[in-house]
């Protein structure tokens, strides 16, 4: 650089006036076209000239001091052109032609012309400013020339949102001071008089330097001095104006204020770049953090749901029957609690998990991130497989429980019947073996022998009559064995004992008959009346015992028809009672006849009838018992008839409700299908309509609760079939769960379309056009289309498709190779390639700004530039930097940035 100030130390300073005769090209010209023309014919307002002189002088010195010199009088110190050329070299960083050393006027004019030529070479059009005017110390022209230099080198490059330099600087000031009370920057003169705007700019970037809340709007001098002193002391911005000059002027000079403010802009431009870079990084990190939280939530929910399924399936697959009805009924109650209480929340969790997964994948696509792959075994398909296994295990479980309860009920009934018949038989056989083993015939008289023979014949008749009961006992025991009765061992033991005893009685009976018949030849007659009595009394007595047994017999029915059959049979039995009563009277008449003959012939009868133990008292007693049991049986049958009528009422009540709820669920499923395909109005309208529809469905839940209550009453009444409806509670439950899941998925699809529309910038009209096109080619109206229909849709939208290009598109819209394309995948594809999203390169560039152009960044820099949580997020994930320029603690932000977009692994 040429040592200009060495040849320029003897110039004097004097008063001058300023002018603005500069113009420019490009964005500079745009700015100058918007400025008021510099008044070249009139003197500046004295106050404005004073402010320009101070400001421009200070601005020039802020650059000249870098070359070790300064000016004191702006219109005198630039007259020889030396410091003017030096100023241009400092602010441009370029070399100017070598100045002439002479002190003659021509030398000065030549030097100033070199400076003016350099300014013109930068695209600035100088109007009415000549070297002679500068050399002659024309203050107005000198100030105009300096303003032109300030515009070109300090203000021209300021642009916010493609505005001109002045508008860009003003917009920057407005945005930075927007949060501050009492600050309203509308221009570069009046808006700055109270000093609050200067203080707000400093506080916004360096809050530790200014106590803004302590400043008062009514003390502008203090405010201005505070801002100027702080800027000079801490920001290296020289004091360019006096507070009194600004406050004492009705309208401060706009160019002086702009020059001063531009210094603040340049002082903070580095911070602005860092802030922009930090904001971009924070945005990217916030997306990643939110996505990681969603991934963690998915993993946790998936683990919990899979664990619940893992625990539940063995319980549902456990088909080991219990021994008692009470235990099986408890299992049935546990299953009802599972269906009503435990499973519905899990259905909602599964649905919500699928919704969260789809939303997460949508957000990842919209933020240009790789798709989320859950941990092994926790994919949505894994959960669906587990759920399918659960429902397979669940299928038939309730039916198995009811069948087991029915089987145990049948077993209990048979077991009780077995015990009752066995007890009756055992009571009858008690003492029979001892009686058959008697040898009384050896000392009996002929009449006694004949009586014994007749008595034995009566016993054989009685024995034969009991044969049927023994066979019934054995048949019941066999059925209990076939039905796997838990106490079959004791039943078999008792049955075997009865059968063995029966065989023994048969053998003893045969032996005794042989003995009696052997001696019968030695005996004569026996009282025929007693014999006839015994023969008729025995079967009649057996009939009464059978009748009492039948009247006390337990019964189990499940329908009105069955109980009416029992009532009909009982009525038929009652119709036989008059004949039975006549038989009883005939038998008693035989006994009375025997007594009459004995009395008339003075025959003394010894004891009871020798041929039978069935006395008239026994017959009358049992007949009275039969008479008592008949009305009791009537009452029991009528109670059962009432119970079956109640059960029929429960069936009809459930069927009435089920025949309403079932078709309602089916109708709603069909309506949702139509709504998801038609989708009229805006997406927000559709979402609102679907949510209202969802609320109407949820409001219908009390109807299902009522049906559940009716179903529970049916199960508690052990009702196993219902001919009045084709709908079971299981069908209703499954339909309800599918209905809730379908409406939730449809709502989620619209929400994801809104996310896609907003992120991709798709208009409502475009979205409706996409929907109309999709519906047109969705031939089956299922909400998805096959590859042939999708190809036709693409062609209709203007795509020229070869096989390779179409296969590429299909791999994007159908990554799972299902052969189907959903509407969500279609709109993702239509908007993906035109969307402006963050990229890894943009994030790397932002980190490079924070790192001061280094290839690495330190933890201290991250903590200084980013919010605490996001700084620590980066530090925890960034790998150490391994480059040749690495320093201790250096972190590799490039690999971290590419990993955010799935281009490499952290």
Q: What is the CATH number of the domain that holds 800?
A: 1.10.238.10
Residue 384, pLDDT score? 92
Task: Enumerate residue ranges in the chain where pLDDT < 50.
Answer: 1-43, 522-526, 603, 904-906
pLDDT at position 716 is: 83
In this structure, the answer to whether residues 249 and 331 fall within a common structural domain is no
* CB of 147 closer than 8 Å to CB of 60: no
Residues for the chain: how many in total? 906
Residue 868 lies in a domain: no
Neighbours of 510 (CB within 10 A): 12
One domain for residues 195 and 68: yes
Asked, for residue 391, whether it belongs to a domain, the answer is yes
* H or E element, residue 785: strand 784-786
858 touches 891 (CB < 8 A): yes
Q: What is the residue range of 517's domain?
A: 431-614
- Please report, rounded to a whole number, the percentage of residues in the chain having pLDDT higher than 90: 20
Residue range 533-568, pLDDT digits in tens: 888 888 988 998 888 888 888 878 778 887 888 888
Is 84 within the bounds of a domain? yes
Task: Give the model confidence (pLDDT) of 333-383 as tens digits.
Answer: 888 888 888 889 989 988 998 898 899 888 888 888 888 899 898 888 899
Q: What is the CATH number of the domain that holds 71?
A: 1.10.418.10
Q: Does a structural domain hold residue 20?
A: no
Which one of 754, 771, 789 terminates a domain?
754
The tokens describing 615, both together, are 């006395």
Answer whether 228's CB lies under 8 Å from 25's CB: no
- Helix H segments across 683-802? 683-699, 701-716, 729-760, 764-777, 787-796
* Cβ atoms of residues 244 and 221 within 8 Å: yes
In the Cβ-directed half-sphere of 747, how many Cα atoms lie within 13 Å?
Answer: 19
**Residues 747-764: tens digit of each pLDDT:** 888 888 888 777 767 777
Those residues with Cβ within 8 angstroms of residue 731's Cβ, 6 or more apart along the chain or in another chain: 662
Distance CA 612, CA 531 (A): 8
343-366 and 729-760 helices, crossing angle to 10°:
20
| 479: CATH | 1.20.58.60
Residue 841 lies in a domain: no
Q: Residue 259 in contact with residue 240, Cβ under 8 Å?
A: yes
Helix (H, G, I), strand (E, B) or coil at 13: coil
* 22 assigned to some structural domain: no
Q: Is residue 821 within 8 Å of residue 831, measured between CB atoms?
A: no
Helices (H), 238-379: 243-247, 254-317, 325-337, 343-366
CB atoms within 10 A of CB 524: 10
Placement of tokens 């803004």 in the chain: 212
Spatial distance between the Cα atoms of 406 and 720, rounded to a whole number of angstroms:
9
Q: Is residue 261 part of a domain?
A: yes
Looking at the fold, whether 286 and 384 belong to one and the same domain comes out as yes
C-beta separation of 615 from 536 below 8 A: no
Asked if residue 174 lies in contact with residue 265, where contact means CB atoms within 8 angstroms, the answer is no
Q: Based on the domain organization, do 598 and 709 belong to the same domain?
A: no
Q: What pLDDT, on the 0 to 100 scale, is given for residue 536?
A: 87
Same domain flag for 817 and 743: no
Q: Which residue has the tokens 């078999």?
A: 492
**Same domain, yes or no, for 236 and 92?**
yes
- Distance between the two ends of the chain, CA-based, in angstroms? 50
Please state, in angstroms and rounded to a whole number, the distance separating the CA atoms of residues 453 and 531: 10
- Number of compact structural domains in the chain: 5
Read off the tokens for 64.
């000249």
Could you tell me if 560 and 519 lie in one domain? yes
For residues 543 and 436, membership in a common domain is answered with yes
Q: Are residues 442 and 306 in the same domain?
A: no
Pair 215, 239 in one domain: yes
CB 821 within 8 A of CB 787: yes
- Phi then psi dihedrals of residue 153, to 5 deg: -100, -15
Per the listing, tokens 């499940």 go with: 558
Report yes or no on 702 lying in a domain.
Answer: yes
Instruction: Evaluate the CA torsion angle 834, 837, 841, 842 in order and state its sign.
Output: positive
Instruction: Render 533-567 in DSSP notation, one character per residue.
Output: HHHHHHHHHHHHHHHHHHHT------SHHHHHHHH
Among 280, 306, 322, which residue terminates a domain? Answer: 280
State pTM to two decimals: 0.52
Q: What angle do helix axes 82-92 and 46-64 make, rounded to 10 degrees?
A: 70
Q: What was the pLDDT predicted at 560?
A: 81
If asked whether residues 410 and 480 sit together in one domain, one would say: no
Q: Tokens representing 454?
A: 């007749």
| Residues 390, 309 contacting (CB under 8 angstroms) | yes
Beta bridge partners of 25: none
For residues 435 and 398, membership in a common domain is answered with: no
* The pLDDT of residue 128: 78
């Amino acid at each position: 650089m040429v040592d200009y100030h060495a040849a320029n130390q003897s110039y004097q300073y004097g008063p001058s006036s300023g002018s603005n005769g500069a113009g420019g090209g490009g964005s500079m010209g745009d700015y100058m076209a918007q400025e008021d023309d510099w008044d070249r014919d009139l003197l500046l307002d004295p106050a404005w000239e004073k402010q320009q002189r101070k400001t421009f002088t200070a601005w020039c010195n802020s650059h000249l001091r870098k070359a070790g010199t300064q000016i004191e009088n702006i219109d005198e110190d630039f007259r020889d052109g030396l410091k003017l050329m030096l100023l241009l070299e400092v602010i441009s960083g370029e070399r100017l032609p070598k100045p002439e050393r002479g002190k003659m006027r021509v030398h000065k004019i030549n030097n100033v012309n070199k400076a003016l030529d350099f300014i013109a070479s930068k695209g600035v059009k100088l109007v009415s400013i000549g070297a002679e005017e500068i050399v002659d110390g024309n203050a107005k022209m000198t100030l105009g020339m300096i303003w032109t230099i300030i515009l070109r080198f300090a203000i021209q490059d300021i642009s916010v949102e493609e505005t001109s330099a002045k508008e860009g600087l003003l917009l920057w000031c407005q945005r930075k001071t927007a949060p501050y009370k009492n600050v309203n920057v509308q221009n570069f003169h009046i808006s700055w008089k109270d000093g609050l705007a200067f203080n707000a700019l400093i506080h916004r970037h360096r809050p530790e330097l200014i106590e803004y809340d302590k400043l008062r709007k009514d003390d502008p001098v203090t405010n201005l001095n505070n801002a100027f002193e702080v800027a000079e002391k801490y920001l290296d911005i020289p004091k360019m104006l006096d507070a009194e000059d600004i406050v004492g002027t009705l309208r401060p000079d706009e160019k002086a204020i702009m020059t001063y403010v531009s210094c603040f802009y340049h002082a903070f431009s580095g911070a602005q770049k860092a802030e922009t870079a930090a904001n971009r990084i924070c945005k990217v990190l916030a997306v990643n953090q939110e996505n990681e939280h969603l991934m963690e939530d998915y993993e946790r929910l998936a683990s919990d749901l899979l664990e619940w399924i893992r625990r539940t399936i063995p319980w549902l697959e456990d088909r080991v029957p219990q021994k008692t009805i009470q235990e099986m009924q408890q299992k049935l109650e546990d299953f009802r609690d599972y269906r009503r209480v435990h499973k519905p929340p899990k259905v909602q969790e599964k649905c919500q998990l699928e919704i969260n997964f789809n939303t997460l994948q949508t957000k990842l696509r919209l933020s240009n991130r790789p798709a989320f792959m859950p941990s092994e075994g926790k994919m949505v398909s894994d959960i669906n497989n587990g759920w399918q296994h659960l429902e397979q295990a669940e299928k038939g479980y309730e039916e198995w429980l009811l069948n087991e309860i029915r089987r145990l009920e049948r077993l209990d009934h048979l077991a009780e019947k077995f015990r009752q018949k066995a007890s009756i038989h055992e009571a009858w056989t008690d003492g029979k073996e001892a009686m058959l083993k008697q040898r009384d015939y050896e000392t009996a008289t002929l009449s006694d022998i004949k009586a014994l023979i007749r008595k034995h014949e009566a016993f054989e008749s009685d024995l034969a009559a009991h044969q049927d009961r023994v066979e019934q006992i054995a048949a019941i025991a066999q059925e209990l064995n076939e039905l796997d009765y838990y106490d079959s061992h004791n039943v078999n033991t008792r049955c075997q004992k009865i059968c063995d005893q029966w065989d023994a009685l048969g053998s003893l009976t045969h032996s005794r008959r042989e003995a009696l018949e052997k001696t019968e030849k030695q005996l004569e007659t026996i009282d025929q009346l007693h014999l006839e009595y015994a023969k008729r009394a025995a079967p009649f007595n057996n009939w009464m015992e059978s009748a009492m047994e039948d009247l006390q017999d337990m019964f189990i029915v499940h329908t009105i028809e069955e109980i009416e059959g029992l009532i009909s049979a009982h009525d038929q039995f009652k119709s036989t009672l008059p004949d039975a009563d006549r038989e009883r009277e005939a038998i008693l008449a035989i006994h009375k006849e025997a007594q009459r003959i004995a009395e008339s012939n003075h025959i003394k009868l010894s004891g009871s009838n020798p041929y039978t133990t069935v006395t008239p008292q026994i017959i009358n007693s049992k007949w009275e018992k039969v008479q008592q049991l008949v009305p009791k049986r009537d009452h029991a049958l009528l109670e059962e008839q009432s119970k079956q009528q109640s059960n029929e009422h429960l069936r009809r009540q459930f069927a009435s409700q089920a025949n309403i709820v079932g078709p309602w669920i089916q109708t709603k499923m069909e309506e949702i299908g139509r709504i998801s395909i038609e989708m009229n109005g805006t997406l927000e309208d559709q979402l609102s309509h679907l949510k209202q529809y969802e609320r109407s469905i949820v409001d219908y839940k009390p109807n299902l609760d009522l049906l559940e209550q009716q179903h529970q009453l049916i199960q508690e009444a052990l009702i196993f079939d219902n001919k009045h409806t084709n709908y079971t509670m299981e069908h209703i439950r499954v339909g309800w769960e599918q209905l809730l899941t379908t409406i939730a998925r449809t709502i989620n699809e619209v929400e994801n379309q809104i996310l896609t529309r907003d992120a991709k910038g798709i208009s409502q009209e475009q979205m409706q056009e996409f929907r109309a096109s999709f519906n047109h080619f969705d031939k089956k109206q299922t909400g998805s289309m096959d590859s042939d229909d999708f190809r036709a849709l693409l062609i209709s939208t203007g795509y020229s498709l070869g096989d390779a290009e179409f296969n590429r598109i299909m791999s994007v819209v159908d990554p799972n190779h299902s052969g189907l394309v959903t509407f969500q995948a279609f709109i993702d594809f239509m908007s993906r390639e035109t969307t402006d999203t963050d990229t890894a390169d943009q994030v790397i560039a932002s980190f490079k700004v924070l790192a001061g152009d280094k290839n690495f960044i330190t933890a201290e820099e991250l903590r200084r530039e980013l919010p605490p949580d996001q700084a620590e997020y980066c530090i925890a994930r960034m790998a150490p930097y391994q480059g040749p320029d690495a320093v201790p603690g250096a972190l590799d932000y490039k690999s971290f940035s590419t990993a955010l977009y799935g281009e490499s692994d952290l």
